[in-house]
Amino acid sequence: MKRRMTREEVLRDFGEAKEQRHIYPHFQPQYNHVTGRVIGAEALMRWEHPEFGSQMPGCFVPVLEDEGLIVEADLLVFEEICQFQRDCIDRNVSTIPISFNVSRVDIHEGDFVERLERIRQRYDIPVRLLRAEITETSAIGGLELVSRAMAQLQELGFVVEMDDFGTGYSSLNILKDLPFDIIKLDMRFLEGNLGDRGGTILNAMVQMTKWLETPVIAEGVETVAQADYLKSIGCVYVQGYLYARPMPADEFLNVLATVGLEPTLPSMQLVENMNAKRFWDPDSLETLIFSNYVGAAAILSYEHGKVEILRVNEKYVQELGMNGNETDAIHVDFWDGFDEENKAKYIGTVEKAIATDDEQVCETWRMLSSDCCGKDEACIRSTMRIIGRAGEQYVVYVMIQNVTAEK
């Protein structure tokens, strides 16, 4: 009879399941939504019970965690992943990194990382082909254990991902204190609501991961609209039903053999001599200079004609005679007040700054409106330079001057 197992049945049958390998992973590929290539996969635990049928982790992982048995199950899944990678290597199939889930209970087990490492060595798998996922909620009750496990894993060369970013109650602290290599954002927590607040929060989270120079993978992506929106805010790595459901090993092998692979994840790189942490730190010297000594300036993100305002200083707001403060200025549509001709001219100048890697200047007219002066046409001189890039996305530094009077 196919049905969900009870707690008692989970505990009764776990021993047999382990021996008979009824517990094993499915694989869910992750894609680059721009190139359509596979960038990795996540292993997800399944229990194929001879009597009750296929069981999802929700039915048995919490029980195994309660009883401390999850450690054995996770090591079993990890070994299966190593076996899979070994087969790929031996059969000359292209390989891609596979992520495994680390339970908070594993972290409390003193020798978990050593046991993983022994298995990895036994199968002789390059460490770059195995990535650890630790959920943010593991840190509830203290960062020390997570921090130690993470350091141990990174020391051995494992990439460590923060799973389910944004779901815990202190995501920002964890992000600040623990040097995760990749961040996984779960779309399901927005409950499909990308309009209004959902979209704003997502955008802010993605921008934050950029400043930390940490690649981000969105999971639970089910629709083209979601993936396109994510792309528009600079998140191109997606995992979800839109591309593929978790699948058995043989199907996944087929994906590897037929779809193009792209095993590295670029993150935002700022130009040499610029330190991202200082650059975005509100208390840094860089910020002090940006805010007080450089005249009217803005930092924009640019991708294929799409411009997003990341940051402006007070003088920028004044120079454009805008209502409100610097934070309000970030929320306006950058192209507000531009006509098609001036927009094209502006985009052309950004493209030139990208192509030449040098400073470029343009003068464009736009309609400015404010409470005090109503609507007025103004000519703005923009001097711009590219200061960072991640894939197709660029960070542009722009100084502006209102030259309407001169004209």
CB of 190 to Mg ion, least distance (A): 13
- 329 binding partner (options Mg ion, ligand C2E, none; Cβ < 5 to 8 Å by kind): none
Query: Toward ligand C2E, which CB reaches closer, 9 or 79?
Result: 79
How does DSSP assign 146-173, residue by residue?
A: HHHHHHHHHHTT-EEEEEEETSSTTHHH
Q: Is 57 in the site for ligand C2E (CB under 6 A)?
A: yes
**Rounded Cα gap, residues 220 and 215, in angstroms:** 17
**Alpha helices, DSSP H, located in 156-217:** 171-177, 197-211
* Overall size of the chain counted in residues: 407
Burial of 402 (0-12, 13-18, 19+ CB in 10 A): middle
Q: Could you tell me which stretch among 167-175, 195-203, 217-225, 303-311 binds ligand C2E (CB under 6 A)?
A: 217-225
Q: Which amino acid is located at 231 in the chain?
A: K
- Choice from 95, 103, 207, 209 touching ligand C2E (CB under 6 A): 103
CB of 128 to ligand C2E, least distance (A): 20
Q: Could you tell me which stretch among 4-12, 20-28, 155-163, 353-361 binds Mg ion (CB under 5 A)?
A: 155-163
- Do the Cβ atoms of 127 and 100 come closer than 8 Å? no
Nearest one of 125, 38, 132 to 85, comparing CA atoms? 125
**Rounded Cα gap, residues 300 and 387, in angstroms:** 10
Q: Could you tell me which stretch among 7-15, 33-41, 54-62, 119-127 binds ligand C2E (CB under 6 A)?
A: 54-62
Q: Could you tell me which stretch among 216-224, 279-287, 292-300, 370-378 binds ligand C2E (CB under 6 A)?
A: 216-224
Q: Is 58 in the site for ligand C2E (CB under 6 A)?
A: yes
**Rounded Cα gap, residues 154 and 106, in angstroms:** 16
Distances (CA, A) of 339 to 55, 187, 322, 365: 58, 35, 18, 8
- Choice from 55, 85, 101, 138 touching Mg ion (CB under 5 A): 101
**Rounded Cα gap, residues 60 and 72, in angstroms:** 13
Retrieve residue 123's tokens. 């199968």
Q: Is 28 in the site for Mg ion (CB under 5 A)?
A: no
Q: What does the radius of gyration of the chain's CA atoms come to, in whole angstroms?
A: 25
Q: How many CA atoms lie within 13 Å of 231's alpha carbon, on the beta-carbon side?
A: 15
Q: Is 163 in the site for Mg ion (CB under 5 A)?
A: yes
CB of 363 to ligand C2E, least distance (A): 47
Q: Could you tell me which stretch among 87-95, 214-222, 355-363, 381-389 binds ligand C2E (CB under 6 A)?
A: 214-222
What would the x/- binding string for ligand C2E be over residues 69 to 88, using CB under 6 A? -x---x--x-----------
CB of 42 to Mg ion, least distance (A): 6
CB of 60 to ligand C2E, least distance (A): 10
- Do the Cβ atoms of 215 and 265 come closer than 8 Å? yes
Retrieve residue 252's tokens. 């996944």
Query: Toward Mg ion, which CB reaches closer, 61 or 380?
Result: 61
**Rounded Cα gap, residues 342 and 362, in angstroms:** 10
Q: Could you tell me which stretch among 77-85, 178-186, 283-291, 380-388 binds Mg ion (CB under 5 A)?
A: 178-186
- Choice from 29, 234, 246, 388 touching ligand C2E (CB under 6 A): 246
Query: Toward ligand C2E, which CB reaches closer, 241 or 293?
Result: 241
- 262 binding partner (options Mg ion, ligand C2E, none; Cβ < 5 to 8 Å by kind): none
Q: Is 238 in the site for ligand C2E (CB under 6 A)?
A: no
Binders of ligand C2E: how many residues, by CB under 6 A?
23
CB of 252 to ligand C2E, least distance (A): 13
Q: Is 138 in the site for ligand C2E (CB under 6 A)?
A: no
**Phi, psi torsion values for 230, nearest 5 degrees:** -60, -40
Query: Toward ligand C2E, which CB reaches closer, 115 or 385?
Result: 115
CB of 97 to Mg ion, least distance (A): 14
- DSSP count for the chain of H helices, then E strands: 15, 15
- Choice from 79, 164, 308, 319 touching Mg ion (CB under 5 A): 164
Please give the DSSP secondary-structure letter assigned to residue 248.
-
**Consecutive H or E run containing 38:** strand 38-49
Is 89 in a helix, a strand, or coil?
Answer: helix
Site of interaction with ligand C2E (CB under 6 A): 28, 44-45, 56-58, 61, 70, 74, 77, 101, 103, 133, 163-164, 188, 219-222, 240-241, 246
